[in-house]
Amino acid sequence: MARRQKPASDKDSPQDFIENIVDIDVTSEMEGSFLEYAYSVIYSRALPDARDGLKPVQRRILFMMSEMGLRPDRGHVKSARVVGEVMGKLHPHGDAAIYDAMVRMAQDFSLRIPLIDGHGNFGSLDDGPAAPRYTEARLAAPALALTDHLDEDVVDFVPNYDNQLMQPEVLPAAFPNLLVNGSSGIAVGMATNMAPHNLGEVIAAARHLIQHPDAALADVMDFIPGPDLPSGGRIVGLDGIRDAYATGRGSFKTRATVEVEQLTARRTGLVVTELPYMVGPEKVIEKIKDAVTAKKLSGISDVVDLTDRNHGLRLVIELKNGFNPKAVLAQLYRYTPMEDSFGINNVTLVDGQPRTLGLLELLQVYVGHRLSVVRRRTAFRLGKKKDRLHLVDGLLVAIVDIDEVIQIIRSSDEAAEARQRLMSIYDLTEVQANYILELRLRQLTKFSRIELEKEQEELRREIAALQEILDSDTKLRRLVSDELGEVAERYATPRRTVLLESEAVGPLTALAAGAKAAGTGKAAQVPLPLEIPDDPCWVILSASGQLARTVNQDQFADGGQRVRHDVFASVVRSSARGEIGAVTSAGRMLRLQVMDMPVLPHTAGVPNLAGGVPVKEFITLAKGESLVSLVPLNTVLAVGTAQGVVKRVSPDYPLNREDWEIITLKDKDQVVGAAAAAEEDDLVFLTGQAQLLRFPASAVRAQGRTAAGMAGIKLAAGDSVIFFGPVAGDDAAAVLVTIASGSESLPGVAAGSAKVTALAEYPVKGRATGGVRAHRFLKGEDVLSLGWAGHGPAKAAAENGAARALPTEHGRRDGSGVALAQAVHAIGPSLS
Is the Cβ–Cβ distance between 202 and 56 less than 8 Å?
no
Confidence at residue 786, expressed as pLDDT on a 0 to 100 scale: 86
Confidence at residue 24, expressed as pLDDT on a 0 to 100 scale: 83
* Dist CA 82 CA 79 (whole Å): 5
* Dist CA 435 CA 424 (whole Å): 15
* Dist CA 505 CA 512 (whole Å): 10
- Minimum mean pLDDT range among 348-357, 410-419, 802-811: 802-811
- Minimum mean pLDDT range among 71-85, 410-424, 511-525, 578-592: 511-525
- Minimum mean pLDDT range among 126-130, 422-426, 539-543, 814-818: 814-818
What DSSP string runs through 71-125? -TTS--EEHHHHHHHHHHHT--S-HHHHHHHHHHTT-TTT-SS-SEEEES----S
Given a cut of 90, whether residue 34 has pLDDT beyond it is no
Among residues 385, 379, 268, 257, the alpha carbon closest in space to that of 317 is found at: 268
Res. 566 pLDDT band, cuts 50 70 90 = low
Structural domains of the chain sorted by starting position, each given as residue range(s) with its CATH number in brackets: 45-173 (3.90.199.10), 180-357+492-511+522-529 (3.30.1360.40), 387-478 (1.10.268.10), 536-829 (2.120.10.90)
Is the Cβ–Cβ distance between 234 and 254 less than 8 Å?
yes
* Dist CA 371 CA 597 (whole Å): 65
Where is mean pLDDT largest: 169-173, 554-558, 762-766?
169-173
Q: Residue 248: left if φ>0, alpha if ψ -120 to 50, beta else—which one?
A: left
Residues 733-752 have a mean pLDDT of 74
Confidence at residue 7, expressed as pLDDT on a 0 to 100 scale: 55
The amino acid that residue 180 corresponds to is: V
What single-letter DSSP state applies at residue 756? E
3-class SS of residue 65: helix
For the stretch 510-519, pLDDT in tens is 333 333 333 3
Is the Cβ–Cβ distance between 254 and 500 less than 8 Å?
no
* Dist CA 706 CA 280 (whole Å): 59
How many CA within 13 A on the CB side of residue 325?
18
* Dist CA 693 CA 645 (whole Å): 12
Of 659 and 804, more confident: 659
Of 377 and 751, more confident: 377
- Minimum mean pLDDT range among 103-117, 222-236, 621-635: 621-635
Residues 522-547 have a mean pLDDT of 73
Residues 267-283 have a mean pLDDT of 93
Is the Cβ–Cβ distance between 359 and 220 less than 8 Å?
yes
Among residues 278, 221, 244, 239, the alpha carbon closest in space to that of 346 is found at: 244
- Minimum mean pLDDT range among 173-177, 430-434, 553-557: 553-557
Largest CA distance in the chain: 145
* Dist CA 370 CA 359 (whole Å): 17
Q: What angle do CA 36, 39, 45 make, to 5 degrees?
A: 125
How many CA within 13 A on the CB side of residue 791?
10
* Dist CA 477 CA 370 (whole Å): 9
For the stretch 462-474, pLDDT in tens is 999 999 999 999 9
Q: What is the set of active-site residues?
A: 134
Confidence at residue 800, expressed as pLDDT on a 0 to 100 scale: 54
Please tell me the chain's helix, strand, coil percentages from 3-state DSSP, rounded to the nearest 5: 30, 25, 45
**Residues in Cβ contact with 792 at an 8 Å cutoff, skipping those fewer than 6 apart:** 733, 734, 735, 737, 756, 830
What Rg do the C-alpha atoms of the chain give, in angstroms?
A: 44
Confidence at residue 187, expressed as pLDDT on a 0 to 100 scale: 78
Confidence at residue 611, expressed as pLDDT on a 0 to 100 scale: 65
Res. 749 pLDDT band, cuts 50 70 90 = low
Q: Where are the beta strands (DSSP E) in 766-821?
A: 772-773, 783-791, 794-797, 803-804, 818-819
What single-letter DSSP state applies at residue 774? -
Is the Cβ–Cβ distance between 24 and 33 less than 8 Å?
no
Confidence at residue 536, expressed as pLDDT on a 0 to 100 scale: 86
What DSSP string runs through 378-436? HHHHHHHHHHHHHHHHHHHHHHHTHHHHHHHHHH-SSHHHHHHHHHHHH---HHHHHHH
Question: What is the spatial order of strands in the sheet that 721-728 belongs to?
Answer: 721-728, 681-687, 691-696, 772-773
Confidence at residue 745, expressed as pLDDT on a 0 to 100 scale: 67
What does the H/E/C string look like for 566-594? CCEEEEEEEECCCEEEEEECCCEEEEEEH
Q: Residue 410: left if φ>0, alpha if ψ -120 to 50, beta else—which one?
A: alpha
Centre a 10 Å sphere on the Cβ of residue 704 and count the other Cβ atoms it contains.
10
The amino acid that residue 526 corresponds to is: V
Q: Where are the beta strands (DSSP E) in 306-401?
A: 315-319, 339-345, 347-350, 353-356
Confidence at residue 505, expressed as pLDDT on a 0 to 100 scale: 35
Among residues 432, 445, 437, 493, the alpha carbon closest in space to that of 200 is found at: 493
Helix H or strand E encompassing 549: strand 546-549
Res. 750 pLDDT band, cuts 50 70 90 = low
Among residues 628, 631, 654, the alpha carbon closest in space to that of 641 is found at: 628
- What is the CA 434 to chain-centroid distance, rounded? 66
* Dist CA 275 CA 254 (whole Å): 8
Residues 444-461 have a mean pLDDT of 83
**Residues in Cβ contact with 596 at an 8 Å cutoff, skipping those fewer than 6 apart:** 265, 266, 321, 618
For the stretch 492-511, pLDDT in tens is 999 999 999 876 533 333 33
Res. 178 pLDDT band, cuts 50 70 90 = very high
The amino acid that residue 617 corresponds to is: E
What DSSP string runs through 228-279? --TT--EEE-SHHHHHHHHHSEEEEEEE-EEEEEE-SSS-EEEEEEE--TT-
Q: Percentage of the chain with pLDDT > 70?
A: 85
**Cα torsion at 272, 273, 276, 282 (round to 10°)?**
60
For the stretch 662-713, pLDDT in tens is 999 998 899 999 999 988 899 999 999 999 999 999 999 999 888 889 999 9
Confidence at residue 564, expressed as pLDDT on a 0 to 100 scale: 55
Res. 832 pLDDT band, cuts 50 70 90 = very low
Q: For strand 523-527 and strand 645-649, is the pairing parallel, antiparallel, or unpaired?
A: unpaired
Enumerate the β-bridge partners of residue 502. none
